[in-house]
Chains A and B, each alone.
Chain A
């Protein structure tokens, strides 16, 4: 049954079907794909954002320590905590950037992200409701764009690829649209 899975008749006959573990050895493997990295300037933008937030927090802690007498003795501890947090966030962004990437197959798009907490997402092209290319003011300075893929599965099931060049984003978008047009040409069965 492993090999002829593709040739099986649709569900009508399956009520009598009594095997259940699917051995999908011959199916395309999502673990085999090679992920394409994103633009390094994307990492720098993220690091700059972390840095700016850090400066604000640092300023806040310092001002508070010199204004409020009770907080003063804890200034050093607070400083260490803030610095440690900043170091951790910087490291997390650098590590995550190395892992972050997307991959296109002929039927779906994959995206992975994370360092300690890793995640892999896959959306088949046929399930994409619409695509959006965004470019914010900071993106424009660094010549970056982001591609958002929306599904009907709610916001947590969407993919948001930051750190593409505008050209890449447009290419991926048109690739997905042309693939979807190709897929939709086939007959659609409306049973069930």
Chain B
């Protein structure tokens, strides 16, 4: 693909589509804020209190002002490249100049939503690693211009960013999700989490209704209270499960639609998404950890979620990770071969953590349970006690399974942690990419001479709890030795 020439030395403006995006974003925010009061006042025909009306007027005017501000700002802001720095000017009242040295740019990602797709523009996100204050976003840039800008910004890097820029486009798709896979992955999601989202959403509606001066409880009392029956209870649970299932299915399909993980040069590129499509690139040497996990359902189907975590500033950490749902074990091994060529799953002898780790979880569950039972007893709520007993038993079973699976292994090059409760979790990280380490000890561990060891890398940290102090020191000394003699770039 030949890219047309753009002169980035002179100030450039974003595409005018940016204005449209600003307007749409304002409408979206506005809609979120006033949809509920509007629904209540107009649709339900309830006469709004003065407070409610003022609230709506206030929100509308604030949104309008911020929209006008953003539009003026669009005409006042421009970007250019000078002295090996990407410079962005913006601001109306207070002028702002942000300059990023090109060699400090770590990742450049494109994002497109429906509007972007319609008008052939892209949102450009630029991230520098280390301190989190320097991230930059250009809301809309014409496609060829965006490509050209990325090539220039990445092309200047000496050793790292050859990927996808100077290399001829030779992309090999190594993993993709088709619709049946996607549905399978969606159905196997953690439905408890989706269920939790529903609860949060319901709470949000409730809280918002109160905010505009409507007491939801008045309405609840209007509804005739049905007699509590076991059938109704089961029906409720069934409904809850169904809704959770549908939500997680939709979430998965929207997020991972048309997912393609491809390999080109010395990096990976993943693109995904139905309405908002997103492309993330990761170079091998920037990947800090590879982890994969499943849950009970996924385990039965033999699929895992794979995660490639790369170095980036902390504020955008989760967005910069490559997450591939619905991977088979074979795919994981294949991807690991690219990132960590010398790693293999059978290189390790795994050790377990001390049994008192399990006992501690037991004590916590029991103490928590006893407290809850005590409170229920004071409030004379005997049915709650059964629930608490079941919950404590569940927590203890989970702790037991978690303890059974928790294990750590390491050799001269890698550290490999195993965990999970109902599912399994694996984390693999090269030792030399460790940034710093921490040993900690609480008063209960001191008696048994146990400690926790935490290894920090540029994409997060991994902890090994309750191991003998001597073991932790041997590991720490080796990790430090490895970091200090290894001259490879960790990022």
CA distance A154 to B456 in the complex (A): 8
Q: Does A120 lie within 8 Å of B413, measured CB to CB?
A: no
CA distance A180 to B170 in the complex (A): 39
Closest to A6 in B: B485
Which of A28, A30, A159 has the largest number of chain B CB atoms within 10 A?
Answer: A30
A69-85 interface code vs B (CB 8 A; 1 in, 0 out)? 00000000000000000
CA distance A188 to B131 in the complex (A): 24
B436 partner, pick from A116, A153, A188, beta carbons under 8 A: A153
**A127 contacts across to B, CB distance below 8 A:** 434-436, 483, 490
Stretch of B206-214, B393-401, B472-480 that contacts chain A: B472-480
A119 partner, pick from B434, B439, B460, beta carbons under 8 A: B439
Closest to B470 in A: A31
Q: Does A187 lie within 8 Å of B487, measured CB to CB?
A: yes
Q: Does B412 lie within 8 Å of A154, measured CB to CB?
A: no
**B349 contacts across to A, CB distance below 8 A:** 20-21
CB of A3 within 8 A of chain B?
Answer: no
B371-395 interface code vs A (CB 8 A; 1 in, 0 out)? 0000000000000000000000000
Closest to B339 in A: A192
Given A27-B478, A29-B477, A30-B477: A5 touches B412 (CB 8 Å cut-off): yes
A102-131 interface code vs B (CB 8 A; 1 in, 0 out)? 000001100000101111111110110100
**A23 contacts across to B, CB distance below 8 A:** 474
**B159 contacts across to A, CB distance below 8 A:** 190
Given A117-B443, A122-B476, A151-B456: A22 touches B131 (CB 8 Å cut-off): no
Closest to B469 in A: A31
**B490 contacts across to A, CB distance below 8 A:** 127
Q: Does A30 lie within 8 Å of B480, measured CB to CB?
A: yes
Stretch of A11-19, A134-142, A160-168, A170-178 that contacts chain B: A11-19
CA distance A10 to B457 in the complex (A): 21
Q: Does A118 lie within 8 Å of B131, measured CB to CB?
A: no
**B130 contacts across to A, CB distance below 8 A:** 129, 150, 152
B318 → A minimal CB distance (Å): 13
CA distance A25 to B129 in the complex (A): 36
A188 partner, pick from B347, B434, B485, B487, beta carbons under 8 A: B487
Q: Does B435 lie within 8 Å of A11, measured CB to CB?
A: no
**A154 contacts across to B, CB distance below 8 A:** 314, 456, 460-461
CB of B2 within 8 A of chain A?
Answer: no
Closest to A105 in B: B480
B441 partner, pick from A5, A14, A117, A191, beta carbons under 8 A: A117
CB of B410 within 8 A of chain A?
Answer: yes
CB of B311 within 8 A of chain A?
Answer: yes
CA distance A10 to B430 in the complex (A): 13
Given A8-B412, A20-B347, A22-B412: A186 touches B487 (CB 8 Å cut-off): yes
A49 → B minimal CB distance (Å): 24
Given A20-B349, A187-B487: A150 touches B131 (CB 8 Å cut-off): yes
Q: Does A119 lie within 8 Å of B484, measured CB to CB?
A: no
CA distance A130 to B474 in the complex (A): 28
A17 → B minimal CB distance (Å): 7
**A191 contacts across to B, CB distance below 8 A:** 488
A24 partner, pick from B129, B348, B478, beta carbons under 8 A: B478
CA distance A190 to B443 in the complex (A): 44
Q: Does A153 lie within 8 Å of B457, measured CB to CB?
A: yes
Closest to B344 in A: A15
Q: Does A30 lie within 8 Å of B314, measured CB to CB?
A: no
Q: Does B440 lie within 8 Å of A118, measured CB to CB?
A: yes
CB of B273 within 8 A of chain A?
Answer: no
Q: Does B436 lie within 8 Å of A122, measured CB to CB?
A: yes
CA distance A34 to B79 in the complex (A): 53
CB of B442 within 8 A of chain A?
Answer: yes
**B491 contacts across to A, CB distance below 8 A:** 152
Closest to B287 in A: A192
A40-52 interface code vs B (CB 8 A; 1 in, 0 out)? 0000000000000
Q: Does A116 lie within 8 Å of B443, measured CB to CB?
A: yes
B321 → A minimal CB distance (Å): 14
CB of B481 within 8 A of chain A?
Answer: yes
Given A24-B478, A157-B435: A189 touches B348 (CB 8 Å cut-off): no
CA distance A186 to B131 in the complex (A): 26
B372 → A minimal CB distance (Å): 24
Which of B285, B341, B484 has the largest number of chain A CB atoms within 10 A?
Answer: B484
Using a CB–CB distance below 8 Å, which chain A residues touch chain B? 5-6, 8, 10-12, 14-15, 17-24, 27-31, 107-108, 114, 116-124, 126-127, 129, 150-159, 186-192
Additional pairs, 7, CB under 8 Å, beyond known A27-B478, A116-B443, A192-B430: A11-B413, A28-B477, A119-B440, A121-B436, A127-B435, A154-B460, A189-B488
